[in-house]
Amino acid sequence: MSNLNPLEVGMMFWAVRDTFDEIKTMDVRCGQLAIPGDVSITPEFTAKWKADLQAANFTVVTVFCVYNGEDYADIPTVENTVGFIPPATRAERLRRTIELSDFAAALGVGSIACHIGFVPHDKTHPNYIAVLDMVRRVCDHAATHGQTFALETGQEPAETLLEFFKDVNRSNLKINFDPANLILYGSDEPLPALRLLAPHLASVHAKDGDWPPKDNKSLGNERKLGEGSVNIPAFIKTLKEVGYQGQIFIEREAFDPTERITDMRSEVPYLKALI
């Protein structure tokens, strides 16, 4: 099975958008592979990834599901387009998530993850009920492959996510904790949230950012690791204190592709030195 170490640094990267040859040169042995919504999961695509990962002795810990039509422009747009919340795309996104669970299984990957979108606070809201049902279906399918299904944090406070967890009531439902998202969406303080959600962690992102303006619309700005408001050294310290045993995946979403790759590369030694 996995030869990875607790708190080992890995990279969150994308099929098609990133070049795996470049990722392999970043001095990491593991990663999370995001699959864009418009990529067809053909037998050839699966076979290529399987061969490339084996040849590089590189472990994918999580397959990340990204969906067609998602838009992270600002908070209202996220609410209307991201994850399992928009009713019009639910059936298609359920189908896609199950397809990616099967793809992950073919690669021997034990976890899938996605942003499910803003979980409503009101448990009687139709979106809450529908999303709860959809998450259970994904969990039950993932369980047939022995996989966990991890929800990315950020779009709601930790308390809301924890309540949702209790209601879903599936043991393979987990969290991919992203400390920067809680800040970028203005939803919660990352370090207390980490302590609250610690029993449910499957994986974590190392990402940084600043709080948004108080207009209930704009997102905060993502920053290079160590330059934003997360307090990355305290984040690593807290992961150790709560006994986290998984890997830490650098995620950089900067729009400029050159800046993104340059930052990802430079963040590896920064994070390794902290750990």
Instruction: Restricting to residues 22-81, name those near Mg ion by CB under 5 A.
Output: none
Residue with smaller CB distance to Mg ion, 52 or 189: 189
Least distance (Å) between residue 252 CB and Mg ion: 10
Which residue, judged by CB position, is nearest to Mg ion in the bound state? 178
Contacts with Mg ion by CB under 5 A: the residue count is: 3
> Site for Mg ion (CB under 5 A): which residue of 188, 251, 263, 267?
251
The window from 111-119, 125-133, 203-211, 218-226 that contacts Mg ion (CB under 5 A) reads 203-211
Residue with smaller CB distance to Mg ion, 21 or 179: 179
Rule CB under 5 A: say whether 141 interacts with Mg ion. no
Rule CB under 5 A: say whether 178 interacts with Mg ion. yes
Least distance (Å) between residue 64 CB and Mg ion: 9
Least distance (Å) between residue 255 CB and Mg ion: 15
Rule CB under 5 A: say whether 223 interacts with Mg ion. no
The span from the CA of 60 to the CA of 104, in Å, is 9
Residue with smaller CB distance to Mg ion, 26 or 206: 206
Contact between 155 and 185 under an 8 Å Cβ cutoff? The reply is yes
Count how many residues are written for the chain: 275
Rule CB under 5 A: say whether 267 interacts with Mg ion. no
> Site for Mg ion (CB under 5 A): which residue of 93, 205, 223, 265?
205
Least distance (Å) between residue 178 CB and Mg ion: 4
Residue with smaller CB distance to Mg ion, 79 or 167: 79
Least distance (Å) between residue 12 CB and Mg ion: 7
Least distance (Å) between residue 207 CB and Mg ion: 6
Q: Is 183 exposed, middle or buried (0-12, 13-18, 19+ CB in 10 A)?
A: buried
Least distance (Å) between residue 253 CB and Mg ion: 8
Rule CB under 5 A: say whether 222 interacts with Mg ion. no
> Which two three-digit tokens encode residue 3?
């030869």
Residue with smaller CB distance to Mg ion, 130 or 198: 198
Q: Which residues bind Mg ion (CB under 5 A)?
A: 178, 205, 251
